[in-house]
Amino acid sequence: MPTEPLLSLENLSAHYVSQQGTRVVRPVDDVTLSLGAGETLGIVGESGSGKSTLALTIMRLLPPAARIVSGRMMFDGENLLEKSDAEMRRVRGKRIAMILQDPMASLNPLFSIGNQVGEPIRVHEGASFAKAWQRAIGLLKSVRIASPATRVTQFPHEMSGGMRQRIVGAIGISCEPRLLIADEPTTSLDLTIQAQYLALLRDLQREHGLALIFITHNLGIVAKMCDQLAVMYAGRMVEKGPVSRVFSAPAHPYTKALLGSIPRMTDSRARLTAIDGQPPDLSAMPPGCAFAPRCPAAMARCAVEAPPQTDIGTGHSVRCWLAAPTTAGAAA
């Protein structure tokens, strides 16, 4: 029997609304996806495509100007949208955790590392300060920080960037969550530390049985880390599927353009391939496909009518008129 996914988003939309209600920005628009226990989902797309806002929507940590306007958000058999703020505080950090892009946005410069790593254990498990402190030492050791008993007494400014990133990872796994969301956690790391950090995340995932959502611009990381890939553009998932299938047979012109822009050592081109144009203004979306003004394969229909989601293989779907049954039939 097929098992129910750990996380399932159905037609989820989150909008930013101006104080006067005259301006609406749609960073998450009709998103549907699922993630099984122990799986890794990579989410890619240009800056401003809605990746980070989607992560904050799942955590229900949107700023006051934003609101979830439609959809369902099922996690471990429960609808997170039906939970009160108090109930969500018991979910965040305990069952769902998040690693932010900038570790200094997560770490308080006024508190010691041991205090901050141990805080979720004290809050969610009711552990004493002494017990949480000892657990913090063990967690620093598990993320391969040398001399953990000394490091817990120190402060964030005394750590390197790579160490701070490992520390927020330790905070993320401190209560053994079922889902860990990593929002571009390797952006500020050099290549050597980045490789070590990715290996660490893989080890932590195996040891703790984590489901992992990995938000990144780096398709090379997706190829190494992820089972599934979702491509976001202008707030929508334009293509989803197994990593191997999407890489070998991309169906959306935007996905093809992203893959085509990757530099290759064997490539003899003098210039890298670029995607012409700019992403659209999310507060003034075009009526049809948002990618149509930049798409080399755009048809007249693309400018006036948004394409539906079309299944094109096992677990592989795309929002593009080129893959829609009516278009395919007409082309034939």
In the sheet with 309-313, reading across from the earlier edge strand, the strands are: 96-99, 179-183, 211-215, 40-44, 228-233, 236-242, 316-319, 309-313
Output the CA–CA distances (angstroms, integers) from residue 174 to 94, 95, 171, in the order listed: 8, 10, 5
Output the CA–CA distances (angstroms, integers) from residue 267 to 244, 254, 260, 263, 276, in the order listed: 21, 21, 11, 7, 20
pLDDT value of residue 173: 87
Domains annotated for the chain, with CATH where assigned, are 7-95+177-263+274-331 (3.40.50.300)
Greatest CA separation for the chain: 71
pLDDT value of residue 313: 84
Residues in the chain where the model's pLDDT stays below 50:
1, 328-332
pLDDT value of residue 328: 47
In the sheet with 78-79, reading across from the earlier edge strand, the strands are: 24-35, 7-17, 66-75, 78-79
Please choose, from the candidates 280, 298, 288, 303, the residue with its C-alpha nearest in 3D space to the C-alpha of residue 234.
Answer: 280
Q: Are 35 and 213 in contact (CB under 8 A)?
A: yes
Q: What does the block give as tokens for 178? A: 């079922």
SS3 60: coil
pLDDT value of residue 2: 53
pLDDT value of residue 330: 44
pLDDT value of residue 331: 43
Strand partners, 8: 34, 74
CA distance 231 to 41: 11
Q: What does the block give as tokens for 301? A: 């229909």
Dihedral sign, Cα of residue 234, residue 238, residue 240, residue 245: negative
State the first-to-last Cα distance of the chain, in angstroms, to the nearest integer: 38
